[in-house]
Structure formats: C-alpha cells, structure tokens
Amino acid sequence: VVFVLFFVVECSIIFLRLYRRGLDQLDELRLERDRVQAAYEVKSQFVSVVSHELRTPLTSINGALGLLRTGAYDSDPAKARNILEIAHKNSVRLSALINDLLDLQKIESGQMSYDFDELDLVSIVEESLAAMESFAQTYGITFVLFAPEEMVIVQADRDRLHQVLDNLLSNAIKFSRRGEQVEVRVVLRGQRVLVEVQDHGIGIPPNSREKVFGKFSQVDSSDRRSHGGTGLGLCIAQEIMAAHGGAVDYTSKLGEGSTFVIDFPFKD
Ligand code: ADP
C-alpha cells in the first residue's frame, strides 16, 4: 500500500510539474504571439504613414503638372511660374523624405555606417553656418557664433555631423520670426563639448518631447504646411549623436524660443 501510495504521489508530482511547464510554455508562446502582432501593427502603421507622407507631395506635383499641361496658364507666365515653384518645392520635400526614410531604415536595421575621423568641431560648425546662410537670409535670420579660439577636436563622421547641425540650424530658422537672431555656441564642459543652437522663436509647449523626437511627428500639425519638414530630422539626429557617444536635448519656453544642444566627448 505504501509503495502504491508513494507511486501515486510521485506520479502526481511529475504530472503537476509537466502541467506547469506546459502552462509556462503556453505563456511564453502567447507573449511571443503578442510581440509578433505588435511588431506587425507597428510595421503596417509605418507603411500607411509613409504612403500618406509620400502621396501628399506627389499629389501636389501631379496637380501642378496637370494644370500646366492643359496650357491654361500659357498666357500667364507669372502664374505658370508660381505653379512650377509649388511642384519644385514638393519634389524637394519628396527627396528629403526619401533620404530620411532611407536613413531611418538603416538605423532600424543596424546598418547605418559611420566614417569616424578626428575633426575640428569649430570648423564643422562654421561650415554648416556658411551652408545655411542663404536659407537664413530668406527668413531674415542672422547667425551669431560664439566659439573657443583653439581647435576642438572630436571623433566624428563629418557628413553625419553636418546632417545633425543642419537639422538644428534649419529648425532654428524655420521656427524663428523674421529679423530674429540665432546664437550658436561651442562650449567645452569637462571632457564633453556642447554645441548649442538658441533661437528666440515660437518655442515648444511643455510635455512635447515625444512629438519633437518622434517619427513623423511635429508639435503643431500646421507646422508641416507652413514650414515643410518631415518630422524625422530630430529622431535621426538622436540616433546619429548616440553613435558618437553623445545626445541631443533641448530646453524651451513657449513664445520665447528654444535651445537645442548636442553634446559629445572631445579629445584633449
Ligand atoms: P521637421 O523639422 O522636419 O518637422 P524635426 O524632427 O526636425 O522635423 O522636428 C520635429 C518637430 O519639433 C518640428 O516639426 C517642430 O514642431 C519641433 N521643433 C524642432 N525644432 C524646433 C525649434 N527650434 N523651435 C520650435 N519647434 C521646434
């Protein structure tokens, strides 16, 4: 009897263990299924956002070209030129969007490659300011640079660093009011170096961090109409700076302006 009892208890324990293991595996499978489903939803949402983003400028280009094709504006060159300008603006936006999408895809698949070199950050900032000068002029914005006299050597990918700086500078221009000034500072802080881009423009409301750094997101949905942009720039800038051992951050006051800062290590 003792033997049978022992046998029954042993069998029950084994059965309970197997049953528990089965339940655990079932939980894991359910978790895995939820993960796959969530990834699938993110992907299909991404595809629908991307198609929408691509379709908007394309529709505008098609519309403009269609109008010109009818010859309706042959006798009004000023109007025809205006329509061509719209088509051109949208094709520029389309190629910026495609470049940003390709960058995003490279980042997300871990295939973004960097060509690191020892570079003088002050010269890089000066080059970016020079490249942005005519864009700033069309918005009536002036840049003022504050930088150390000596070279500030950083390990960086020249093109990617320009991409980040161009993004910060063009945002500072776009979100300033005509006639305002944008100050750019290169600041050494311990073993870190900061580049601050300070504007005195429209500013950013509190709790907007997700919109500022999110994919395709803009703080004000009318920003896109009035300022263009893809809403991907800062999301990509964050990834680029992380690859440099640094970060992008900002402080802002609504109506008073924003300061965007990149910081990363520098070499003594
Ligand atoms: P884009 O400029 O292409 O829209 P970004 O990722 O560079 O995309 O910026 C995301 C959003 O963050 C902008 O659309 C804008 O709403 C906000 N933003 C960025 N820089 C500034 C700034 N200097 N002042 C005010 N808002 C800004």
Could you report the predicted ipTM of this complex, rounded to two decimals? 0.97
Q: How far is the CA of 264 from the centre of ligand 1 (A)?
A: 21
What pLDDT is attached to residue 225? 45
* 220 Cα nearest atom in ligand 1: 16
CB of 212 sitting under 6 A from ligand 1: yes
The answer to whether residues 201 and 180 touch, using CB atoms and an 8 Å cutoff, is yes
Whole-number CA gyration radius for the chain? 27
The answer to whether residues 213 and 234 touch, using CB atoms and an 8 Å cutoff, is yes
Written in H, E and C, the secondary structure of the chain is CHHHHHHHHHHHHHHHHHHHHHHHHHHHHHHHHHHHHHHHHHHHHHHHHHHHHHHHHHHHHHHHHHHHHCCCCCCCHHHHHHHHHHHHHHHHHHHHHHHHHHHHHHHHCCCCCCCEEEEEHHHHHHHHHHHHHHHHHHCCCEEEEECCCCCCEEEEEHHHHHHHHHHHHHHHHHCCCCCCEEEEEEEEECCEEEEEEECCCCCCCCCCHHHHHCCCCCCCCCHHHHHCCCCCHHHHHHHHHHHCCCEEEEEEECCCEEEEEEEEECCC
Atom 13 (ligand 1) nearest CA: 218
* 176 Cα nearest atom in ligand 1: 24
Q: Phi/psi at 145 (nearest 5 deg)?
A: -105, 130
Q: Determine the Cα–Cα distance for residues 154 and 160; give it in Å rounded to an integer.
A: 13
Q: Determine the Cα–Cα distance for residues 154 and 242; give it in Å rounded to an integer.
A: 14
* Ligand 1, pocket-test mutation among 165, 195, 234, most atoms within 8 A of CB: 234
What pLDDT is attached to residue 72? 83
Tokens for 180, please give them.
């305002």
Q: Determine the Cα–Cα distance for residues 197 and 146; give it in Å rounded to an integer.
A: 10
Tokens for 154, please give them.
């950083």
Best CA proximity match to 155, nearest among 115, 101, 112? 115
The answer to whether residues 266 and 154 touch, using CB atoms and an 8 Å cutoff, is yes
* pLDDT, tens digit only, all 268 positions of the chain: 888 999 999 999 999 999 999 999 999 999 999 999 988 887 887 788 788 888 888 999 999 999 899 988 889 999 999 999 999 989 998 898 889 889 988 888 888 999 999 999 999 999 999 999 999 999 999 999 999 999 999 999 999 999 999 999 999 999 999 999 999 999 999 899 999 999 999 999 999 999 899 887 777 765 444 566 678 899 999 999 999 999 999 999 999 999 999 999 987 6
The answer to whether residues 162 and 128 touch, using CB atoms and an 8 Å cutoff, is yes
